[in-house]
Amino acid sequence: MATSAQPLMIDRDESTLAFNARVLDMARREDIPLLERLRYLCIVSSNLDEFFEVRVALHLHQIGNTSELAPYSQLSFERISRAAHLLVDQQYRLFNEELMPVLKKQGLQLITHDERNTAQHKWVKQYFDREVRPLLTPVSLDPAHPFPMVANKSLNFIVRLTGKDAFGRENDIAIVKVPRSLPRVIRLPASVSGKAICMVSLSSVIRSHLTDLFPDRVVGQFSQFRVTRDSELLVDEEDAKNLRTALRHGLEHRQFGVPVRLEVSSECSEYLSHFLLQQFKLPDAALYRVAGPVNLVRLNQMIDLINMPQLVFPAHQACYPRQLQEGESLFKQIRKNDILIHQPFESFSSVLDFLKEAVNDPKVLAIKQTIYRTGSDSALMDLLREAVLRGKEVTAVVEIKARFDEEANINWAERLESIGAQVVYGVVGLKTHAKMMLVTRREAGKLVRYAHLSTGNYNVRTARLYTDISVLTMNPEITADMEQVFTQLASQTRISHLNHLWLAPFKLQEQLIDMVDKISKACAQGKPGRIILKMNSLTDEKLARHLVQAGQRGVDIDLIVRGACILPAQVPGFTDRIKVRSIIGRFLEHSRIFYFRSGDKEDLYLSSADWMNRNMMRRIEVAWPVLDPDLRQRIVDECLVAYLHDNTDAWVLQVDGSYQRARSPVASRSLRAQTELMKRYSRKA
């Protein structure tokens, strides 16, 4: 039994899988539009891909280590494998038994080989001969043709043949690699679909015509398969002479990292599955038999092929921020007061307008910005390029190690450098995750700074899908702090003092602990204490233990944690005063908000950082206070209170570590925070 000083924490990876189970529940809900339910199913597959690419190798590499105390071991691998298998089984059962039948009732069919009529078989055959077969090169395995290199998450087929090849040999295994360029879902023309909308999967098309690829041989056993590989880039930053060049080299090899998962068809024979496991040097627990396409992520293409607005969420049109007057100078408006932007309910276009005005204003002399995830097609990056061409001093801190966005960021860095921008890559060994933009303008003979700080990325696409909070300010102390941070990132000089910003990896964790402990001590002295934290993940054990101690001293603590949370909730004697909830809704909850109150004194910080050890110790992160009491109250109302009262999209962590859907005590009082916020902002005049 754990003591009050050392409560048992929830396993991080099991908590991550539990989060994906909550996402999967969205695909079950009949109050969600049908194609959106299918999209949530795809999101779970995408999340699981990243989970295996990033987390599972840590456990898999410890096969043989049976220590019960080690964080990564054979036991931990077996434990998360059981949870992952259960989740995948539930996913495909939902796909086959619920979603596909309901889609069929709507006239939407993903038809298999056995379901096609004669006309459809003929059309598929013609499509295969015209579009697919010319791109396939089957490889029969023998000493001169070893098992081919199979790329991460690519679609492949394994075939067992009988009979002899053209040279009289009896090699029985062949591999068919499927190019990524081929669409994974194909819509049949109306001439063979009738009144329904019929589609076929690429894997089904190839499966139906495997015999065409091996004339004069008999195709016996076969299966589609897909291997997931460890995708962490191993770059020695200390030894690399040029980090950008080293990363480019690493990206070339990412597709062929160490295998961590093998997916095959549910009908795959033991002979073929065992052969593949041996080739990839994987244990039996890494094998996933699936009753459908091995890559459900690609069913997003099916959604894109269907134009039925009634089966998707109604279009959401973000309003222009309520504090701003569109068309009026943003510099002028920021001089009046700080501006709060609540995305995606308010439009990210206002941030682009701020940068656009800075680019076009001859009084603006310099623009500094951090770049973490912008996407390959970025209006913001184009504006930075325009600023350089207009003669402004542009400093871009580009994080070229942002996982899975490395190539796009390297490309942008090179494009900016080629026209004279000052591009820096942060600090060796750390990722620059802070979201900051600083504009310096000459006004009345003086240099004045304007700033934008955000909990989310400078990415137009995700700004429509993620909830984030950002602030436009010209507060001289905050902007002076930002100037120091930018200087440190470029020159690596020591910062002597910051007025308001909390900065990782230096003091952010320490200052968060100090704030928690301050509320805790005041509560122990009889003052009422309150902490409300909203974030994506809480996995930093040191911070978690200080929250436990605060709760044991009488502080009431509410945690709104979308994803993984290691902190157990309401465990008698441990965390009686700590409640944990997760919101899974239409938009991905992404804002990080830290609220502390002792008596009548309250503090609220916004941040780019989750409460994870990597954010505290291995990243450049900032947290900043909301000093305007009206804006602070707005954040409390919209981002904390609203979510604490949500009884439709909320899940509550139970004593046993499981999550249960929050329920309304009165059936007519169903509250969904995101929906209420959409309504509130749609009424903005």
Give the active site residues. 433
Nearest CA-CA partner of 531 in 523, 651, 455, 562: 523
103-108: Cβ within 8 A, 24+ apart:
103/34, 103/38, 106/34, 106/308, 106/311, 107/195, 107/196, 107/197, 108/196, 108/197, 108/199, 108/306, 108/308
DSSP-derived secondary structure for 552-571: HTT-EEEEEESS-B-S--S-
HEC secondary structure over 516-530: HHHHHHHHHCCCCEE
Q: Are 531 and 516 in contact (CB under 8 A)?
A: yes
Q: Is the dihedral of CA 401, 470, 40, 78 positive or negative?
A: positive
Exposure class string for 274-311: b at 16+ Cβ within 10 A, else e: ebbbebbebeebbbbbbebbbbbbbbbbbbeebeeeeb
Q: Confirm if 535 and 581 have CB atoms less than 8 A apart.
A: no
Least Cα distance to 328 among 350, 305, 313 occurs for 350
Q: Are strands 287-290 and 259-265 parallel, antiparallel or unpaired?
A: parallel
Round to whole Å and give the CA distance between 213 and 176.
Answer: 9
Using alpha carbons, select from 415, 404, 340 the residue that is nearest to residue 373: 404
Closest CA to 231 of 258, 207, 249, 211: 258
Q: Is 485 left (phi over 0), alpha (psi -120 to 50) or beta?
A: alpha
Joined together, the tokens standing for residue 558 give 């509410």
> What residue type is assigned to position 354 of the chain?
F
Beta strands (DSSP E) in 266-424 are 287-290, 339-343, 364-371, 393-398, 422-424
Residues whose CB falls within 8 Å of the CB of residue 317, separated by 6 or more in sequence, listed in order? 682
| Partners of 265 in the β-ladder | 290
Q: What are the residue ranges of helices labelled H in 439-536?
A: 476-491, 508-524
CA-based nearest residue to 592, from 612, 610, 573: 610
Q: What DSSP state is assigned to residue 665?
A: S
Chain centroid to CA 153: how far?
17
Residues 109, 328: Cα–Cα separation, whole Å: 51
With the CA atoms of 111, 112, 114 and 118 taken in that order, what torsion angle do they form, in degrees rounded to the nearest 10? 50
Whether the upstream peptide bond of residue 505 has omega within 30° of 0, thus cis, is yes
Q: Take residue 591 and report the two structure tokens written for it.
A: 């804002």
What is d(CA 531, CA 605) in angstroms, rounded to the nearest whole number?
12
- Asked if 337 contacts 628 with a C-beta cutoff of 8 angstroms, the reply is yes
Residue 307 and residue 165 in contact, taking contact as beta carbons nearer than 8 Å: no
Longest CA span, the chain: 89
